[in-house]
Structure 1
């Protein structure tokens, strides 16, 4: 058999298995809204841990982080403690309190939580929150599709972006529509193992074939130029940028709903250990892949498409047997699908639950099966919009790499929702108007900083930290000059007592 056929067989088995999980999940757990969007709040520690980790990593870990390590060397590793420490913190503290509060208030979505926390009868908090989610997640998904088509382009020599994007879109839409949250998290578990094996096996095998760690160290140490020292820790700005990337984790709803879905809040402590282990191993695997790719392909033109974000694919294709390369490609597709399906579900819950049920039909009783149908239609529509936007992203990746598109959405959501969530859970003086100002301020600060300060003024500080800080200040200042809603303080204290 040709190499292409072997890769295709391996990839087909993987995709077929994902589809089978969706069909099975549709038969066992999609009966109501809590089932469809939170798996019935019955998931165990392993499933929640792996699902939270892989849904947060996406293609930016395999392609983006490895590409950053190829370009910058070991200094790219500063992104790892940024999100690893923050997500450990989320598992152990914020995630637990969010789980207690959302169950007691019967919240299914993050906008649900904000509305009930502040007794917002106007629906304004819910509408603004959903609008931000739809905007950033559509951009996020389109960037993932653009990343995925690169693998198909390499394997089958596609001259157009459409075939690869069509394949990924088809499979993600089908199993997400069929199985809802249960299908998403179960496929995440399988995808987590694909990602871990590829990110561990590939660098170990290449290091062995190249003569051991000493050869890699000697090569990296040979970069003595001030412009690039592959063993340098990086500038203060690069360190701050790397560490502050973790602020995005606090505000990304597709990660937060994982904590809301666990069977018992105390089990998040065990999930923290599992998730942190996975994060550390996968993160360093991506860094070593980038460093090894720089050793193997010192000139950028030697990489596929002369693109540093193809370091993983180029290395896997040259060193792995076609069957193993098929598994490596499956790992990349897994990273993409594990994020896209989660984000689609969050967007669909925002449209069906937060807009249709709670705003448009708030005075009526809407049947559960109708809500699930609306959610499934939303998944399809949003995926189609992201599909066409992904074509645009693919054609303009020279201006902004995939890593940049993903991190813009990541940091925007982190700034809009992160400070609002933390202060809502831990500061009883927070008000609905304060949170609303944080939503808008975080969104505006992220976009302005990215477009003006980074793109026009060429300031090196990335948008993650300024957006988060500005949103926090907005919430604190506005909360201090506005009134806490009636009943909000009592509910806040009740949730704290239940947690204890």
Structure 2
């Protein structure tokens, strides 16, 4: 049988599993809160893997190995920044955000949390946050569609638009059916695929080398890829890299605090105490995946330098992982490994679809429609998943540098617009609604302008976060917090501390204990 037959079989099996998980999640989704946030019932293992999988796109398996293959270890600064950001996000944001979103009128989206946290009655804060989410994520989802089309085109030699429609349709189908639970459960499968692929591919390639130890020296003095005489600075992390570039790459870690599709997993945990277990799962997964990507690049410098095979992508060398997978394994196994790239694309895209749908319904529609019933909200949320996907597909039909360029600073946009506000919401009692609005607008606008005209100076998240924080603090100090925010802030902080000190307790236990102490009784 032909290679394409086995590759198609692997992809069909994968798609079938995704749809089956969607139907399973549908059986557990009976009300609106289930669809948007899984009714806060996510266990830490699922949360940890889901956050990681929804974070990583095809960049992890294609972009990062390609960059390391060409440029060497100077590309590691961004990996260091992202790893630190992952750990810090789980450590300091996850437990308190889980507690505070429930204390603040059971907020189930980031914009609704900002509004409830500051007691904003104007709806301007919630509206502004929702618009930022819808704008950036619509283009982000479109980028995923483009990636799916390119994947189909390069893997099967098929039509680009057909690939866009196939990948987009399957992603929309399981997201439409099962909502948050489907996205989270499929993330576990997709994260596991990515994890196993990033271990097995470089290991098998390493074992095929005559001298495996060459991976730590070969690239510096031997021809490979774009280097006719080797890259003498391959293992030097600072060679040819300016201080501004290093700072900018490390600053990628700042973006984690404001990514809606990641922090939503924190809000869905059963208890703040489970953030510790989820953090261990998530950070170990991320560390091993990054290590696999690094070793894929290292092995590739030797393998493609010594063997007769060549890298398909002779420009960015972003197919080194895909090429090794095809060479190392039987077509069926290679097909399963190659679905890891598809998994990376689809896991990110499904999370973004759901967050954008939630912003449209929970944070815009409910501003104008008071107290709609749960059935209406559920139907509208599913409808918006399809609507956003259709717009994204239309944008993906003729992809342009402008659309794809927006994705490059979407991370910075969310990091600058939402990151300072998230941190201040959880740790600064003095935050006000006007301050949060000012911070979001200044952060988003700074990233947009800087990313368009000054991106060569330093990564736009750096000035974005600095100016957003300054605006947020200045305006908050010039205005007054609404009555009641202090008491909620103290309750959320105390509930978090109690939950972390009593890991076997539920969040309701923490709230009961706090109220008991305030009432003069002894907390258990």
TM-score interval w.r.t. the shorter chain? over 0.9
Paired position in structure 2 for 1:109: 109
Paired position in structure 2 for 1:356: 365
Are 1:370 and 2:371 counterparts? no
Paired position in structure 2 for 1:200: 199
Are 1:89 and 2:88 counterparts? yes
2:253 to 246, 249, 265: 246
Are 1:303 and 2:309 counterparts? no
8 Å contact from structure 1 (residues 56, 249) kept in 2: no
Are 1:445 and 2:442 counterparts? no
- Inter-CA distance 301–475: structure 2 relative to 1 (3 Å threshold): farther
Paired position in structure 1 for 2:16: 16
Equivalent residues in 2 for 1:8-87, closer than 5 Å: 8-27=8-27, 29-87=28-86
- Structure 1 CA distance for aligned equivalents of residues 326 and 397 of structure 2: 25
- Structure 2 CA distance for aligned equivalents of residues 233 and 337 of structure 1: 32
Equivalent residues in 2 for 1:402-417, closer than 5 Å: 405-417=406-418
1:101-154 deviation line (CA, Å, top 9, x unaligned): 111221110011000011111110111101100111112111222222222112
TM-score of the superposed pair, with normalisation by structure 1? 0.92
Bigger radius of gyration, 1 or 2? 2
Equivalent residues in 2 for 1:472-491, closer than 5 Å: 472-491=469-488
Paired position in structure 2 for 1:169: 168
- Structure 2 CA distance for aligned equivalents of residues 265 and 87 of structure 1: 17
- Structure 1 CA distance for aligned equivalents of residues 476 and 310 of structure 2: 54
TM-score of the superposed pair, with normalisation by structure 2? 0.88
Aligned residues: CA RMSD: 2.2
- Structure 1 CA distance for aligned equivalents of residues 277 and 155 of structure 2: 39
8 Å contact from structure 1 (residues 44, 262) kept in 2: yes
Paired position in structure 2 for 1:230: 234
- Structure 2 CA distance for aligned equivalents of residues 217 and 64 of structure 1: 21
- Inter-CA distance 294–449: structure 2 relative to 1 (3 Å threshold): farther
Paired position in structure 1 for 2:507: none
- Structure 2 CA distance for aligned equivalents of residues 14 and 84 of structure 1: 29
Specify the SS of the correspondent of 1:379. helix
Paired position in structure 2 for 1:462: 459
8 Å contact from structure 2 (residues 214, 302) kept in 1: no
Specify the SS of the correspondent of 2:480. coil
Specify the SS of the correspondent of 1:485. coil
Unpaired segments ≥5 residues, structure 1: none
For these two proteins, the number of residue pairs brought into alignment is: 486
1:455-476 deviation line (CA, Å, top 9, x unaligned): xxx32x2112221122111111
Equivalent residues in 2 for 1:176-191, closer than 5 Å: 176-191=175-190
Are 1:267 and 2:268 counterparts? no
Specify the SS of the correspondent of 1:245. helix
The range that moved more, 421-430 or 226-235, is 226-235
1:298-346 deviation line (CA, Å, top 9, x unaligned): 6999433744332322232233321122112210111111111111111
- Structure 2 CA distance for aligned equivalents of residues 266 and 3 of structure 1: 48
Paired position in structure 2 for 1:339: 348
Deviation at 1:169, TM superposition (A): 0.4
Deviation at 1:448, TM superposition (A): 1.1
1:46-85 deviation line (CA, Å, top 9, x unaligned): 0010001111111221122122212321121222221222
1:278 to 275, 278, 285: 285
- Inter-CA distance 72–25: structure 2 relative to 1 (3 Å threshold): same
The range that moved more, 210-219 or 463-472, is 210-219
Paired position in structure 2 for 1:315: 324
8 Å contact from structure 2 (residues 42, 268) kept in 1: yes
- Inter-CA distance 314–361: structure 2 relative to 1 (3 Å threshold): same
8 Å contact from structure 2 (residues 311, 317) kept in 1: no
- Structure 2 CA distance for aligned equivalents of residues 389 and 227 of structure 1: 39
Paired position in structure 2 for 1:325: 334
- Structure 2 CA distance for aligned equivalents of residues 98 and 248 of structure 1: 16
- Structure 2 CA distance for aligned equivalents of residues 380 and 272 of structure 1: 32
- Inter-CA distance 361–335: structure 2 relative to 1 (3 Å threshold): same
